[in-house]
Structure 1
Amino acid sequence: MSTLKINNLSKTYANGVKALDNVSLELENGMFGLLGPNGAGKSSLMRTLATLQEADSGTATLDDIDILNDPAELRKVLGYLPQEFGVYPRITAEQLLTHLAILKGITNAKERKELVNYLLDKVNLYEKRNKSVKGFSGGMKQRVGIAQALIGNPKLIIVDEPTAGLDPGERNRFYNLLADVGKEVIVILSTHIVEDVRELCTKMAIMNLGEIVYHGSPQSAIEALNGKVFQKIVSRDQLQGYATDYKIISNKMVGGQPLIHVFSEEHPQNGFEQVAPDLEDVFFSRINTSNVLV
């Protein structure tokens, strides 16, 4: 069992953007969802933990490894699938993984070949091992990405926006693969897609504007909203008035008209109906209503 401890990490970029604002988390083995809108600071946190950028202050440790001060040690036990996983265009899946295994320090040719074959089989690409990666679908490329992240028995795996652009079938295959991987190591899934976290994670955090605005289980967060979410279809020209009078969590178009969800301790009447909350309500309540539950 590994433990990742993050304490008071802060990072401000040269342009004045505060990407990380005293971020603290503690994670153990399993799938952990990091949810937040674009620009929330998720990628900044992932890049810091992956030793691709330095923090201004704070600490981060994986067991006895000081991530910020000893990045070389962390990289030995890190698997990383960035948001944009680039591939060499003219080589096969087998050649790509073999090359990356060499870079990871696996020098024994027999051991390396066995590992590459095992990983290709694990991500269901063994039959495609001699095909050029350039011709792979988005989902297949992501599976190659997970395979390379598994090289070297990592203790920590970071996947950044892994399902963006995948079709529903590819997303489901990717979910199954991640869930299998997440049984034995710490996997941090950074995403803005609520469904990713709902499907995969028993623990999660929500980030907004560089801060952690929720940390716990998805189910606990949903239960905290029970009896406090109400919905109503309104006309477009009424939206501004409702935004003034109610704490609107979200609005989406249904049949050409906005369906609004509002947060309220008591039934707001006025044609609203109470609805069972879901993780999307949790997400938007933390992002859109000044963190009404904090």
Structure 2
Amino acid sequence: MSTLKINNLSKTYANGVKALDNVSLELENGMFGLLGPNGAGKSSLMRTLATLQEADSGTATLDDIDILNQPAELRKVLGYLPQEFGVYPRITAEQLLTHLAILKGITNKSERKELVNYLLDKVNLYEKRNKSVKGFSGGMKQRVGIAQALIGNPNLIIVDEPTAGLDPGERNRFYNLLADVGKDVIVILSTHIVDDVRELCTKMAIMNLGEIVYHGSPQSAIEDLNSKVFKKIVSRDELQNYANDYKVISNKMVGGQPLIHVFSEAHPQNGFEPVAPGLEDVFFSKINTSNVLV
């Protein structure tokens, strides 16, 4: 069982943007969802934990490894799938994984070949091992990405926005693969897609403007909103009035008309109906984007 401890990490970029604002989290084995809108600071946190950038202050440890001061040690037990997983042109899946295995220090040729075949089979790409990765679909490239992240039996795996752009079938295959991987190691899934966290994670955090605004289980967060979310279909020209008068937590089009969800401790009347809350309601209520949504 590994433990990742993050204490008061802060990072401000040269342009003045405070990407990380005293971020503290503690994670153990299993799938952990880091949910937040684009620009929330998720990728900054992932890059810091992956030793790709330094923090201004704070600490981060994986068991007895000081991540910020022992980056080489952390990289030995890290698997990382960045948001943009680039591939070499005209190289097969087998060649790519073999090359990356060499870079990770697996020098024994037969051991390396056995590992590459095992990983290709695990991500269901063994039959495509001699095909050029450049011609793979988005979902297949992401599966190659997970395969390379598994080289070296990592204790920590970071995947940054892994399902963006995948079709529903590819996303489901990716979910199954991640769930399988997440049984034995710490997997951090950074995403702005609520379904990713709902499908995969028993623990989560919501990040906004560089801060952690919720840390706990998806189910507990949903239960906290029970009997406090109400819905109503309104006209488009009424949206601003409702935003002024109620705490609108989401707004989406249904049959060409806006359906709004509002947060309220008591029934707001005025034609609103109670609705069972979901993780999307949690997400929007925590990041408080009512003004953006209208």
TM range (shorter): over 0.9
Change beyond 3 A, Cα 1:289–1:90: closer
* 1:9-67: CA deviation from partner (whole Å, max 9, x where unpaired): 00000000000000000000000000000000000000000000000000000000000
CA distance in 2, matches of 1:76, 1:83: 21
What TM-score results when the alignment is normalised by the length of structure 2? 0.98
Give the gaps of 5 or more residues in structure 1. none
Change beyond 3 A, Cα 1:173–1:36: same
* 1:112-170: CA deviation from partner (whole Å, max 9, x where unpaired): 00000000000000000011111100000000000000000000000000000000000
- Contact 2:23-2:211 within 8 A present in 1 as well: yes
Q: SS at the partner of 1:292?
A: helix
Q: SS at the partner of 2:290?
A: coil
- Relative to structure 2, which stretch is displaced further, 1-10 or 252-261? 252-261
CA distance in 2, matches of 1:59, 1:11: 12
- Contact 1:286-1:292 within 8 A present in 2 as well: no
Q: SS at the partner of 1:270?
A: coil
CA distance in 1, matches of 2:15, 2:293: 31
TM superposition shift of 1:292: 16
TM superposition shift of 1:289: 5.7
- Contact 1:4-1:62 within 8 A present in 2 as well: yes
TM superposition shift of 1:290: 8.7
TM superposition shift of 1:291: 13
What TM-score results when the alignment is normalised by the length of structure 1? 0.98
Correspondence list, 1:1-294, <5 A: 1-288=1-288
- Contact 2:247-2:290 within 8 A present in 1 as well: no
Change beyond 3 A, Cα 1:292–1:274: farther
- Contact 1:247-1:289 within 8 A present in 2 as well: no
Change beyond 3 A, Cα 1:157–1:100: same
CA distance in 1, matches of 2:172, 2:156: 22
CA distance in 2, matches of 1:289, 1:82: 27
Number of residue-to-residue matches in the alignment: 294
TM superposition shift of 1:89: 1.1
Q: SS at the partner of 1:291?
A: helix
Q: SS at the partner of 1:101?
A: helix
CA distance in 2, matches of 1:94, 1:237: 56
Change beyond 3 A, Cα 1:126–1:291: same
CA RMSD of aligned residues (A): 2.2
Change beyond 3 A, Cα 1:291–1:70: farther
CA distance in 1, matches of 2:160, 2:202: 18
TM superposition shift of 1:246: 0.3
- Contact 2:251-2:293 within 8 A present in 1 as well: no
CA distance in 2, matches of 1:227, 1:34: 26
- Contact 1:204-1:217 within 8 A present in 2 as well: yes
- Contact 1:246-1:263 within 8 A present in 2 as well: yes
Give the gaps of 5 or more residues in structure 2. none
CA distance in 2, matches of 1:205, 1:292: 21
TM superposition shift of 1:293: 19
CA distance in 1, matches of 2:162, 2:99: 22
